Structure 1
Amino acid sequence: MRSEALDALRALTGRSDAAFHDGQFEAIEALVQRHERALVVQRTGWGKSAVYFIAALLQRRRGSGPALIVSPLLALMRDQVAAAERAGVRAASINSSNVTEWSDIRDLLDRDAVDVLFVSPERLVNPTFRVEQLPTLIARCGLLVVDEAHCISDWGHDFRPDYRRIRDLIADLPEGVGVLATTATANARVVADVEEQLAAGGHPVHTLRGPLARASLRLGVLELGTNWRRLAWLSEHLGDLPGSGIVYCLTVAAADDTADLLAKAGHQVLAYTGRTDAAERVAAEEALKKNEVKALVATSALGMGFDKPDLGFVIHLGAPSSPVAYYQQVGRAGRATASADVLLLPGEEDRAIWHYFATNAMPTQAKADAILDALRSSPGPLSVAALEARVDIRRSQLELLLKVLAVDGAVENGPGGWRSTGLAWAYDAERYDRIAEARRVEQQSMLEYERLQACRMAFLTTALDDPHSAPCGRCDVCAEPWYPSSVTIPAAEKARADLDRVGVPIAARALWPTGADRLGITADGRPVKGKIAPDEACDEGRVVARLSDLGWGGALRDLFAPGPDGGPVDADVPPDLARACVRVLAGWGWSERPVAVVSVPSVTRPRLVASLASGIAAAGRFADLGPLALAPGAGPLSASTNSAFRLRDVWHRFSVPPELAGALADLAGGPVLLVDDLIDSRWTMTVAGRLLRASGSGPVLPFALASVG
């Protein structure tokens, strides 16, 4: 069998001299000959995918059914399917990006013409897939593979509720089916957790754990302080880095800004984020693999499974929230090269970004209870849109919570939408508190990595409980810093000027939110739904910058940060931001110049909004018409998160006082600037603009200091 497996390895790699790494054949043997359950914890680039491809191929030759591989990312699936075909393995995938191919794949499965089927963990929660396809696949399955198996564990660095469905999948397998779980990022606690789940039914688990240190990687950390200095360094030195690589950013806005700045500096780069179109993602991946670009400027959307063996560098503008996540991302580099450069450029905003993502990932009892109450009280199933109108939860978080509840058996998705199963469900506060505490410890550990006085590679592998951890002799602590640590004055001035751009467009709302009519929101006795009438809508607006921007985002985050008592700080617009506002107005390019300014009344920052409105009116020589009236007893807006509830909260919040109505009538339909401090959902501006239009104003142009997101 070893000879047969070696032939398959050489076909897979395209090299006649290929040989097994330590442990690869042992894992294949355990799966094919003994049908064991195996956990492989090996460094990135070791060849974990070769183990399951070869095992699947040998199993098929011995009469077994197709292998089912649960794989987390589309980029991984595309690479793996292509790799499988090189070895003569007939592979297919079922995921959200190839819906039009599903019927063809079902036909291939029916004809037993698929050796390996990749499915995303999200498919395991899909009701149609679970009812129509999964039972047959489980019954015929010759091998189950769980890639990136750390996601199964609560202690894994990537909170993915869909992966928890795999526990049930393992328990449902027929006797004698081998199970392989693979990961490069599991510490001892994660290993123990995954082993326990693989052992369901009393099966022994064969764990193969190798050294995680990557001899090819040269690690470093360069503290440069400001965003503009970091970008100046990157702009000046990107071309000096070996080969092509990845520049990781923590947010979509940072990735877009960085890609734009580097492109203007003459570098061939492309942005790659969660908002990048699927076809553009594929094209970007191919461009990097063919070295047609110097780098992809990416968020974590370009993560697990992306395979370019000769990737020459990974740079981070801002640190991931844990050493484990960082190890995984830097592991993209240097898989098949003697050397690759890895450099972290920490950002001042890192901790705030970590906190945002951590608090948005975990469910809360109040939100889970709201979903269950809505489903229990509904006479029939509810679509996500219909449910969103009944609970005050943003769509993305609502979908995440539904997955959590579905895995726990409290809800299920079927024809017509989601419904309650009626099973008792209790919020596991201890579990989520435990996970949150683990996240805090990981964040502190990442800060320690940035300040290390000892080997960086040893620190990362120790964080993964690797018993083989030892000094690498290559990082900037073991040896000398291998990177330049300064930027030239011209590069710094250019980066600073690029980040000093102001004036981000804010699109006007075009549709009333789904479910607004269910909340009793009416206009002239009619439910509010569908398109917003053109004579009621705002025009496109502007903000100085987004809170997440690399440039003015820092100053704006400081402005809106809570004070020592945790409450909002209210003061006049700082002089530098006031000048930035004037620059936004000067570069707006409106078709008709505004004639007046109206402000949105603020409960939390009245002084800031008043000074902003009066300053704009003075600078632009516009008439200052004062604020809209605030409804009696109106307090700070609640923490509503979805559109229908946000609209409900502001629908009766404002009115047009008589003196303002008279002033608007005198404007003869001239455009009006509508001024606020911060734009989030855009519903405040939409409702306030509608009132102004109804009172005789011309086009309404929203303006604020910042936007969220």
Structure 2
Amino acid sequence: MSPTPAPAVPAADELREEALACLRELTARDGRPGAVDFHPGQLEAVAALVADRRRTLVVQRTGWGKSAVYFVASMLLRRRGSGPSVIVSPLLALMRDQIAAAARAGVRAVAINSANQTEWDEVEQQLRADAVDVLLISPERLTNPRFRETVLPTLLERLGLLVVDEAHCISDWGHDFRPDYRRLAAVIATLPVGTPVLATTATANERVIADVTEQLAPRGGAGSEAVEGEVFTLRGPLARDSLRLGVLRLQSAKQRLGWLLTHLDALPGSGIIYTLTVSAAEDTARLLAEAGHEVLAYTGRTDAAEREQAEAALKANEVKALVATSALGMGFDKPDLGFVVHLGAPSSPVAYYQQVGRAGRATERADVLLLPGPEDADIWRHFATASMPSRARADAVLAALADAGGPLSVPALEARVDLRRTPLELLLKVLSVDGAVENVRGGWVGTGRGWTYDEERYDRIARAREAEQQAMREYLTTDGCRMQFLVAQLDDPDAAPCGRCDSCLRAAGKPPWYPTDVPTDWAERAGTGLLRVGVPIEPRAQWPTGLGRLGLDLSGRIPAGELAERGRAVGRLTDLGWGQPLRELFSTDADGRPVDAEVPPVLASACVQVLRDWDWAQRPVAVVAVGSTSRPRLVASLAEGLSSLGRLPLLGTLEPHGEPATGRGGNSAYRAAAVLQRFSVDDALAARLAELAGPVLLVDDLCDSRWTLTACARLLRRHGVPAVLPFALALVG
């Protein structure tokens, strides 16, 4: 796609002088010298917004200065009598950085988001008093009934500039698509003529640019097509001269961790170590910290306050690295970030480019190294399918809303459809954007407009994701320039060899820029740490909402006399250490059927270690197994082995009746109801339980939702067992 020609700028010299003075005022407040000038393209974008009030799409690499464009444009528009600018931003961390940057620049910026609800009234008062220059919101605010009813209408009437940051999120084809972002197209379509709109991103290929442009374009009238050529597209080269890229393929997780333990301190400055899963981030952070490295974990499980503290610590160079999942992604602003290391490859080159773009924005050099693992493809497949809506799920949600006769909260709806909270909320967003449901005061309702599952669209998206994964595999193995490969994935016409990456160095007969050695002692130390066994299984303490609708009179807290104790598992399926042997044990054959085998010796030894280290209040006096229809041989061998090892009687098995009512992925109410109605204690086992004077070790193979162990522990407790200690080979999470 060729960029739209730059707009004609009346009084261009006067605008340039005013804009440049504004830029220098901003940068002087930010501690930079006053003689700065616009980067190529920045003034053109400002002119398009301020002089011609056009819809503008800016695709420029991280660090080019997209925020300078919208801050300068906002100040110039305010001086001309316009209302406040609204910046739609995807992440709280990004909002915090933008507000801090605005404050340094003398721009009055405030936010309305999920983290500052106590401040909403004050922010609304400031907006009514015209005391705000920039308002930052998340796209989710557009679904909030109060915001839509009390804030948005007045705001849109007075809007000076609408900024859509990280605009690739608008597009189905973007690597980080967010359903709530699609709602912005409807908002943009209602804006008064002459309201400028700016969309910015560093990660958009031709297909994403075309999609975003279509959604930005003004319409000729209600329901009409977008006006051709009405979006000014400014696109620059995306290659980052400061980054030197590399890929180091090592045989095992312990070697990858051994490399980090050996060489982390030699990496320049402070940086980010990305992992693909929460457990990998936590394991890596723990091992590095135990070896004396100053690191912190940063994941979706990290408390919000702890996230802020971790971000501040990295920015102040108080830690060497944050070990993070993609929760630390778009917009994190540390211009002098010295390195980015990935333990495991992201699922697309574009997503990878976005993450490594955090480094080297204000440094001459930053090191970027990818250490791929054999488990990466399995993780890609999981995340690719988890977020895709299905026809059956959508029909179930729409039917439940139609039958309700009034608004349903998400917990109430969760009790009516077999969906977990996160995918249910995602599906509601998709249906809302498509106009089939609406979030009103009191919950969600169906609109009655009807909805058709767009199978062709979702098939296209699925194929696109598969193509991205294949491109990532090619990045790992390419002999060509890695930077050229990445920016070519973004259809950058200026893609060219960088001369700095490991491939370019090899082509020049030079060794790669990174060390490749992993000393045996450090690899073994990493291996020992990774093979540490014993993950807690936290007991369920509360019944899920909605069991009454499923025929069970259970609600609120689980009585103390029916609770399980804190249990143990060998490890998680996503662990860097035990994950691989556990995933192999719980694999399926070519027809998708579970492989059922006895516990292998390496995992049997791990079970011994878990039991040896378990700090139970009282040693168990017997073993009871949880029966399995998919892996009976595995469960039997596990229970028999633990019974023999501990010299504990194996009292019997809680055999399941019938077929499971729900598989993995169902929500808490349905899963709890299924197992509560599926297991029972026969007379022979009941007699043995009645004679016990101590805890029972309750043995299962795989723990996912914890409802099976919770229901079986309840059964045992109700038959007189004084305490139940759950044990499983693996946790799913």
- TM-score range, shorter-chain basis? over 0.9
Query: What's the offset of the Cα at 1:637?
Result: 5.3
Distance 1:246 1:662 in 2: 57
1:226 and 2:255 matched: no
The aligned residue for residue 656 of structure 1 is: 681
Kept in 1: contact 2:662–2:670 (CA 8 A)? no
Distance 1:8 1:232 in 2: 50
Please, which moves more after superposition, 47-56 or 124-133?
124-133
Aligned partner of 2:728: which letter? A
Distance 1:637 1:173 in 2: 46
Aligned partner of 2:140: which letter? E
Kept in 1: contact 2:206–2:490 (CA 8 A)? yes
Query: What's the offset of the Cα at 1:640?
Result: 5.5
Distance 2:478 2:350 in 1: 16
1:33-57 CA-to-partner distances (Å, cap 9, x unmatched) read: 1101111000111001100000000
Distance 2:708 2:59 in 1: 51
1:143-189 CA-to-partner distances (Å, cap 9, x unmatched) read: 11111111111111112100000000110111111111100000011
1:413-437 CA-to-partner distances (Å, cap 9, x unmatched) read: 1121111111111111111111111
1:55-84 CA-to-partner distances (Å, cap 9, x unmatched) read: 000000111111111111111111111111
1:6 and 2:37 matched: no
Aligned partner of 2:51: which letter? Q
Pick from 693, 696, 709 the counterpart of residue 720 of structure 2: 696
The aligned residue for residue 431 of structure 2 is: 405
1:335-384 CA-to-partner distances (Å, cap 9, x unmatched) read: 01110000000011111111111101111111011000000011211111
Distance 2:269 2:364 in 1: 12
Query: What's the offset of the Cα at 1:570?
Result: 0.7
1:644 and 2:669 matched: yes
SS at 2:340 equivalent: strand
Distance 2:47 2:665 in 1: 55
Query: What's the offset of the Cα at 1:489?
Result: 1.2
SS at 2:142 equivalent: helix
Pick from 205, 208, 227 the counterpart of residue 231 of structure 2: 205
The aligned residue for residue 445 of structure 2 is: 419
Q: How does 1:172-251 map to 2 (within 5 A)?
A: 172-202=190-220, 203=227, 204-251=230-277
SS at 1:627 equivalent: strand
Distance 2:219 2:446 in 1: 29
Kept in 2: contact 1:629–1:657 (CA 8 A)? no
The aligned residue for residue 74 of structure 1 is: 92
Q: TM-score, normalised by structure 1?
A: 0.98
Number of residue pairs matched by the alignment: 702
1:104 and 2:128 matched: no
Greater than 2 Å deviation, 4+ residue runs: 10-15, 633-640
Distance 1:445 1:640 in 2: 29
SS at 2:385 equivalent: helix
Q: How does 1:485-634 map to 2 (within 5 A)?
A: 485-521=516-552, 527-631=553-657, 633-634=658-659
Distance 2:160 2:337 in 1: 34
1:90 and 2:108 matched: yes
Q: How does 1:100-499 map to 2 (within 5 A)?
A: 100-202=118-220, 203=227, 204-479=230-505, 480-499=511-530
1:87-125 CA-to-partner distances (Å, cap 9, x unmatched) read: 221111111111111111111101101011111011111
Distance 2:301 2:617 in 1: 30
Aligned partner of 2:671: which letter? R
Distance 2:173 2:707 in 1: 39
Q: TM-score, normalised by structure 2?
A: 0.95
Kept in 2: contact 1:506–1:543 (CA 8 A)? yes
The aligned residue for residue 679 of structure 1 is: 703
Distance 1:10 1:73 in 2: 28
SS at 2:502 equivalent: coil
Query: What's the offset of the Cα at 1:11?
Result: 2.8
Distance 1:118 1:432 in 2: 31
Aligned partner of 2:34: which letter? S
Distance 1:247 1:341 in 2: 12
Distance 1:382 1:495 in 2: 49
CA RMSD in angstroms, aligned pairs only: 1.1
Aligned partner of 2:17: which letter? S
Pick from 33, 40, 49 the counterpart of residue 31 of structure 1: 49
1:373-410 CA-to-partner distances (Å, cap 9, x unmatched) read: 00001121111111000000000110111111111111
**Structure 1 residues 234 and 646 mapped into 2: Cα distance closer, same or farther (>3 Å)?**
same
Distance 1:168 1:565 in 2: 45
Kept in 2: contact 1:604–1:636 (CA 8 A)? no
Kept in 1: contact 2:628–2:655 (CA 8 A)? no
Q: Structure 2 regions of 5+ residues with no counterpart?
A: 1-14, 221-226, 506-510
Please, which moves more after superposition, 79-88 or 604-613?
79-88
1:529-580 CA-to-partner distances (Å, cap 9, x unmatched) read: 1111111111111100011111101110111010122101111100110010
SS at 1:655 equivalent: coil
Query: What's the offset of the Cα at 1:128?
Result: 1.2
Distance 2:450 2:640 in 1: 57
The aligned residue for residue 524 of structure 1 is: none
The aligned residue for residue 42 of structure 1 is: 60
Distance 1:635 1:25 in 2: 63
Aligned partner of 1:100: which letter? T
Kept in 2: contact 1:640–1:646 (CA 8 A)? no
Aligned partner of 1:509: which letter? R
Kept in 2: contact 1:535–1:693 (CA 8 A)? yes
Percentage identity across aligned positions?
A: 67
